[in-house]
Amino acid sequence: MAGSAGEIPPAALEDRGSGDPLVLLHGWGVSSELFAPILDVLEPGRRLIVPDLPGFGATAAPDAPWSVHDYAAWCVALLDRLGIETCDLIGHSNGGRIGIVLAATYPGRVRRMVLTGSAGIRPRRTWRSVVRVRSYKVLRAVERSAAVPAALRRAAGRNADQRGSADYRAVSGVMRGTLVRLVNEDLRGLLPSLHLPVLLIWGDQDIEAPLDDGRLMERLIPDAGLVVFEGAGHFAYLEQPGRFCRIVDVFLRDDQGEGTA
């Protein structure tokens, strides 16, 4: 690990309700606040644990770039501090990526899991993406070269900034390094080792985590079911919150995981 949960301040989190613990992990570039519209509906009979992940919201960033395994270990340390041995988990986008690693690496800590618009499947490289990456690296090399005039170095840096993704341009330092580590980790090899019920909820208009990723996860996870929200994008749980909460409530309350389709 690049760091450990004990090296950063405790999580800023919302801890509300009582009953079976349910952890909600948010995506990249946002905070736990985006779960606010669904918490009241999910709370009855449950203890909701909704943290700001390190580097987001009110939780401090790690002191070095983290991998998804570092985030998963941090979540386990958080559960330990809260006295929670086993929980249910909802992960959106990057939170789903963390949930996959947590459930695969720490068997028994997650009872059942909901992944919505989950990250974790690294896109196949096309010739366009290869050219884009190589040109980006050339521009960064020019930016750092002492042999190149200052004006040209600045121009190369501006050009490189424009070629990165919006997420990449929005962060710097440790979190930029963290993003690079996260997006380069392909988790499909872990999916067959998820021996727990998994509900996949996907928007068919999701361009951040395409529906094909959800279909692949459904095929590779031994006990998984996929529900597609027509017309919804990457934030399906916010676009159709009532439907999302009804399906999730049935899934989490049913010992056999039935009724998820």
Residuewise pLDDT in 10s, the chain (261 residues):
444 444 555 789 999 999 999 999 999 989 999 999 999 999 999 999 999 999 999 999 999 999 999 999 999 999 999 999 999 999 999 999 999 999 999 999 999 999 999 999 987 654 454 445 455 455 556 677 777 678 777 776 666 565 555 545 555 578 888 988 998 899 999 999 999 999 999 999 999 999 999 999 999 999 999 999 999 999 999 999 999 999 999 999 865 444 344
Helix or strand holding residue 255 (H, E): none
- Domain total of the chain: 2
Q: State how far the Cα of 202 lies from the Cα of 208, in Å rounded to an integer.
A: 11
**CB-facing half-sphere around the CA of 75: CA atoms within 13 A:** 36
Q: Are residues 88 and 193 in the same domain?
A: yes
Structure tokens at 58: 């009110």
**Does residue 31 contact residue 20 with C-beta atoms inside 8 Å?**
no
Structure tokens at 21: 């613990």
Q: Are residues 33 and 112 in the same domain?
A: yes
Question: Residue 258 domain-assigned?
Answer: no
Q: Are residues 161 and 205 in the same domain?
A: no
Q: Are residues 65 and 189 in the same domain?
A: yes
Domain that includes residue 89, residue range: 5-122+185-253
What strand order describes the sheet that includes 110-116?
Answer: 13-17, 46-51, 20-25, 87-92, 110-116, 198-203, 224-229
What is the three-class DSSP state of 85?
coil
pTM score: 0.81
**Does residue 120 contact residue 91 with C-beta atoms inside 8 Å?**
no
Question: Residue 49 domain-assigned?
Answer: yes
Q: Which of 105, 17, 14 is nearest to 59 (CA)?
A: 14
